[in-house]
Amino acid sequence: MEAVTGTAFVVATILKTIVFFIILLLGVALSTYMERKVAGFMQDRSGPNRVGPLGLLQVMADGLKFILKEEVTPGTAHKKFFILAPALALFPATVLFGVIPLGSPLPTPWGRVDMIVADVPVGFLYVLAIASLAVYGVVMAGWSSNSKYSFLGGLRGSAQMISYEIGLAMSLVPVLMLAGNVEMPVLVSMQQSFAAGPATYGMWFILPLMLSGFFFIVSGLAETNRVPFDLPEAEAEIVGGYHTEYSSMKFGMFFLGEYFHLITTGALISVFFLGGWDIPFWQGDNIRVLADGTVIGDPTWWKTLLTLVAFTMKTTFFVVFFMFIRWTIPRFRYDQLMDLGWKVFIPALMAYIMLTAIAIFALDAAGVPVGLRFSAALFGLNFVLMLIFLFALDRGRLVMGATARTRAVPGVTAATASEGD
C-alpha cells in the first residue's frame, strides 16, 4: 500500500499533530495524578481522593488554580526573557514527540498513514539536537529573574544538563553501530523478528545493549531534573531554584514541561531499547516500510490500535518507574552529581563504545549473521560488562553491604560497624 500523498498527506499530518498533542496533554494530566497516587502509596496514605471519583478531578482543580492565581513579575526582572523562559522550557519536549513512531502504519482508503507526525530521515539526530535546547529555558529563567536563588539554580541546571547530555548522546552510539540507521521507524523494525524480508536482530536492544540502556535511562532521568537529580530546584538549599520568582501559569508551564520531558523520555527509551510499538512474542505486528515504499507485513486498523496500546504501556512503565525513584532515592550532593557525569559515565561510555565496536567487528568478521545468535553474543558481553561496572561503581556500599569497608579495619566487627551506622 502506497503512503498518502498530496492533499491527503497534508490533512493527515494536521490531524496527527492535533491528536498526538491532545494525547500528550492528557498523558501529562494523568501523570500528575499518578505522581500523587504513587507518592501516597510510598508514604502509606491515600493520595487524591476527594475531588471527583477516585480524586480524578484533582487534575482539573490544579489547572484551574494555576490559571486563576495572580501573575507576579519582579520589578527588577528582565521581562521579555522572563516571559520567554517558560515557553522555552516547554517547547523541546513537545516538539520531540513529533518524531516518535507510536504505532504500526494505518491503512486508509486514501493510502497508508504512518503513526508518526514527521518521519524525517535524521530522526535520531533531530532528537539529540532538540533535546539540547531544554537547557536554554532553565538558564534564561535563572538569569532573567535577577534573583540570587534563581541564578544559582540556573547555573546548576545548565552545568547538569550539559554534563548529562554528553552521556545521553554517547549512550546511543552503540545503538547506531548496531542498527546502522538513524531513522526512528527503522530502529523499531530492526528490533522485531521477521520470518521473511531484511534481516533483523530478533530481540529488543535492551538485551544486546543492556549497559547502553542503563546509561540512557540514568542520563534521561538527569535531563528531566527530577529526584535524585533535582539540584537546580533544591527547595532545602535554594528555595526553588530557577523558577523561584515565577507564579501562576508561568510556573505552571515549568511544571507541565517537567512532565512533558518525563513522558518523552519514557517514549524515547521505549523506541531505542524496547522495540517501540513492537508487541513481544507475536509476529503479526511485524510491519516494515522499506526505503522504496514496499511494505512487508499486513497493516490493519486493529493492529495499529494494539501497537498503540503496547507503546503506551511501555512508556507508562518508565513514567511510573521514574516516579518510584523520586520517592525512594534521596537527592545527590552537587559534587556527587557532577562526579557521576564526568568521572564515571563519560570514561565508562568511552570504554564501552570501544568494546562494543570491537565485538560487532569480530562477529561480522566471524561470519555470524545478523539475528538471534548475533544478539545473544552481544547480550553475553553486556551482561559481563554490566556486572563489572556495577561492582566497580558500588565500591562496597550496596551490593556488599554498608559495613563491608569497615569490617576490613582491624578491631572493627560487623556488630560495632552496625552500631556506628
Residue 372 placed within a domain: yes
415 has a pLDDT exceeding 90 = no
Q: Please, are residues 151 and 143 in contact by the beta-carbon 8 Å criterion?
A: yes
CA–CA dist 204, 375 (Å, integer): 9
Sign of the Cα pseudo-torsion (377, 378, 379, 381, in order): positive
Residue 148 placed within a domain: yes
Please write the tens of the pLDDT for every residue from 300-339.
889 999 999 999 999 999 999 999 998 888 877 778 888 8
189 has a pLDDT exceeding 90 = no
Indicate the pTM of the whole model. 0.88
> What is the pLDDT, as a whole number, of residue 181?
82
How many percent of the chain have pLDDT more than 70? 89
CA–CA dist 105, 116 (Å, integer): 9
Q: Please, are residues 260 and 93 in contact by the beta-carbon 8 Å criterion?
A: yes
Residue 418 placed within a domain: no
CA–CA dist 137, 161 (Å, integer): 11
Quote the domain boundaries for residue 232.
6-399
Residue 411 placed within a domain: no
Q: Please, are residues 34 and 320 in contact by the beta-carbon 8 Å criterion?
A: yes
> What is the pLDDT, as a whole number, of residue 418?
47
CA–CA dist 323, 221 (Å, integer): 10
**Cβ contacts of 216 within 8 Å, gap of 6 or more:** 168, 171, 172, 269, 272, 273
pLDDT averaged over every residue in the chain: 83
The pLDDT-based confidence of 192 (bands split at 50, 70, 90) is confident
Please write the tens of the pLDDT for every residue from 100-130.
999 888 888 888 888 898 888 888 888 888 8
* 276 vs 236, more confident: 276
According to DSSP H, which parts of 289-345 are helical? 301-326, 334-339
Residue 246 placed within a domain: yes
Please write the tens of the pLDDT for every residue from 275-284.
889 888 888 8
> What is the pLDDT, as a whole number, of residue 380?
93
Residue 417 placed within a domain: no
Residue 106 placed within a domain: yes
Domain count, the chain: 1
CA–CA dist 276, 206 (Å, integer): 11
384 has a pLDDT exceeding 60 = yes
Our measurement of the distance from residue 58's CA atom to the centroid of its chain's CA atoms, rounded to an integer in Å, reads 26
DSSP track, 230-266: -GGG-HHHHTTGGGTT--HHHHHHHHHHHHHHHHHHH
CA–CA dist 197, 140 (Å, integer): 50
Residue 208 placed within a domain: yes
